[in-house]
Amino acid sequence: MNLTGKLALALLSVGGYWLIVVLAGRYDWSGAVFGFQWPFHVIGLLFGALVMAPYAGRSAHRAARMLALSIASAAIYYLAVRFVVDGPLGYSTTAPYVIAGTVAAVLAGLAVVALAPGRFHWRMVGLSMAAGAVGGASFEWQLPIDWAPNDLHAYLAWQILVCLALHRGFLPAVQRAD
């Protein structure tokens, strides 16, 4: 898939986040799964299904890889949010957002490398770290938008930047590492 298609899927994932937050605000979705409101597990699953799963390739194990990438994404999202909310730094500074964003982006990149037919390259780690740090920092700022969650811009930044990092950093199995 080309970069335009991947970016469109990342935008669709952000749109899914917006829809989930709007619906969760309208309806009582207070039920918890593993101590975490279930709609927010879906946000991680969406990112995995739309942004990470296209790297699954066209093998006989494609469906299993896509499912594994989606589940990995949900787990990564859960852990990142838990770090910011319950971590040792509190969420009154930018540091936990940057750390969580960076680690989540690197874990997403490593999950793609581990679960998709591709090769590890340090470029993936560097690009993921940069994307995650910038995207994570954007969660510190809240933008009052009447029709959207205050952190929609942050989801947009993080997901687009991580999408770009995956696109530039992932080496298909047939390409040699530099």
- Under the banding of pLDDT at 50, 70 and 90, the label for residue 36 is low
- Under the banding of pLDDT at 50, 70 and 90, the label for residue 27 is confident
Share of the chain above pLDDT 70, in %: 88
Q: Is the pLDDT of residue 178 over 50?
A: no
The string of pLDDT tens digits covering residues 68-77 is 999 999 999 9
- Under the banding of pLDDT at 50, 70 and 90, the label for residue 106 is very high
pTM of the model: 0.88
Q: Is the pLDDT of residue 176 over 60?
A: no
Least confident of 47-51, 84-88, 126-130: 84-88
**Do 167 and 3 contact (CB within 8 A), yes or no?**
yes
Query: What average pLDDT does this structure show over 3-10?
Result: 96
CA distance 57 to 60: 9
Across the chain, mean pLDDT equals 87
User: Both tokens of residue 40?
Assistant: 């927010």
- The reported pLDDT for the residue numbered 46 is 95
The string of pLDDT tens digits covering residues 114-138 is 998 777 889 999 999 999 999 999 9
- The reported pLDDT for the residue numbered 29 is 66
CA distance 25 to 136: 24
User: Both tokens of residue 16?
Assistant: 């899914």
- The reported pLDDT for the residue numbered 69 is 96
CA–CA distance from 51 to each of 55, 79, 131 (Å)?
A: 8, 18, 14
- The reported pLDDT for the residue numbered 22 is 81
CA distance 137 to 99: 9
CA distance 176 to 178: 6
Instruction: State the DSSP string of 66-84.
Output: HHHHHHHHHHHHHHHHHHH
